[in-house]
Chains A and B, each alone.
Chain A
Amino acid sequence: MTFGNVVERCRQNESELVREWREVVARSLAGRLPAALVEKELRDILDALLGALEAGGGTDPQAEPYAEVRALLVELSRDRAQQGFSPRETAVSVFGLKEAVSKVLGDTDVTGFFRVIDEFGLYTFETYTKAREEVITNQAEQLLELATPVVKLWDGVVALPLVGTLDSARAQVVMEKLLQTLVDTGSEHAIIDITGVPAVDTQVAQHLLRTVVAARLMGAECIISGIRPQIAQTIVALGIEFGDIATKASLADALMLALSRLDVDVNAEIAKRSR
């Protein structure tokens, strides 16, 4: 396919094209990106695109001459995806070139050139979606990591600070992680801290109780800490019985209890370590 003198005319009016293009893009971005940055991005893309067309690139965006254009577009769509721009705003960054071209070149036949731009628009869109998916996958992984940190507080004492809502699926993961840590570290005391749990209903309480009973079966004792005043009121109002499970208002109190159960002399331990 030939593009007639479109490429040549674009080259002649390059700076005007970039300006018009930026105008279109800037309208959709509504000042969320600095104009100079956008202009540089667009100028690079246009330069690379015209260069590729001069080098004989066809309508296939995967063709060899377009390597640089593709790289620039991948960068652009990834940036946009990570900065949280919508698909429309990202697509306009490419399709806006059509508007600029028709305005600057007037009545020249630009059908072939527009087809190339469309192809790259779609390409940008695909990359944008892929980048978005990556962001989502990463966040899901981070969330799971956040979900279950088991920290060692002392020899034989581990703590599980729970943050966020405790649904059945998460409760199961948390329970397994805690029990496995008890086995791995040989800890006899576990503190489950629920400071970060926004609400305790009967279901959450059920999960907690089951974890405590399972830990007991394995030979470890659990202390539940971080019960805020409102939560204490809710628990009583709901009629939840914690039985003989130790509950404390703060993690510090729970640690104190665990240490006294272990019969630890903290001062002696500190003296031993600093020696």
Chain B
Amino acid sequence: MERIPVLKIGDTLLVSIQTDLHDQMVLALQEDLADRIAATGARGVLIDISGLEIVDSFAGRMLAAIAGISKILDAETVVVGMRPAVAITLVELGLSLNGIKTALDVERGLRLLS
């Protein structure tokens, strides 16, 4: 099964989602990320979803779940590069992702974490 790579840059873990998400991939990512945060002691998680064109409520909840998991493991989550269409969909689904930080692109996201 295809897995989404988790890259470590300094104290930050970078997840770049460039394909549309299947439920299995989402669950695998959640597990991988939890493992990596615990193993590396990362302080920040940056999720780049600029390649994501379609979201459903499952993927939306996943983002919230990942943020929750990171928080318990003492890492901050920043979601970056959300497309307008995705943002509108999430708002229409009633998922405002409270408690998650957002930024326009990876650069600003990193600045937010540092």
The answer to whether A and B interact is: yes
The stretch among B3-11, B16-24, B68-76, B79-87 that forms the contact with chain A is: B79-87
Asked whether B102 lies within 8 Å of A188 as measured between CB atoms, the reply is no
Partner of B102, one of A179, A187, A219: A219
* Chain A residues, Cβ within 8 Å of B83: 183, 218
Asked whether B91 lies within 8 Å of A182 as measured between CB atoms, the reply is no
Residue from the set B80, B90, B91, B105 with the largest chain A CB neighbour count within 10 Å: B91
Category for how many chain B residues contact A = 20 to 34
Secondary structure at the A interface, as helix, strand, loop or mixed, is helix
Asked whether A214 lies within 8 Å of B87 as measured between CB atoms, the reply is yes
Report the nearest B residue to A175, measured CB to CB.
B88
A: number of interface residues (CB 8 Å)? 18
Within 8 A of A (CB), among B12-34: none
Q: Is A186 an interface residue (CB 8 A)?
A: yes
- Closest Cβ–Cβ distance, residue B28 to chain A (whole Å): 24
Within 8 A of A (CB), among B68-114: 79-80, 82-88, 90-92, 96-97, 101-105, 108-109
In whole angstroms, how far apart are the Cα atoms of A180 and B84 in the complex?
Answer: 6
A sample of 17 more A-B contacts (CB under 8 A), given A186-B105, A216-B102, A217-B91, is: A176-B84, A176-B85, A179-B84, A180-B84, A186-B104, A188-B104, A188-B108, A210-B92, A217-B87, A217-B97, A218-B84, A218-B87, A218-B102, A219-B79, A219-B101, A219-B102, A219-B109
Binding site for A on B (CB under 8 A): 79-80, 82-88, 90-92, 96-97, 101-105, 108-109
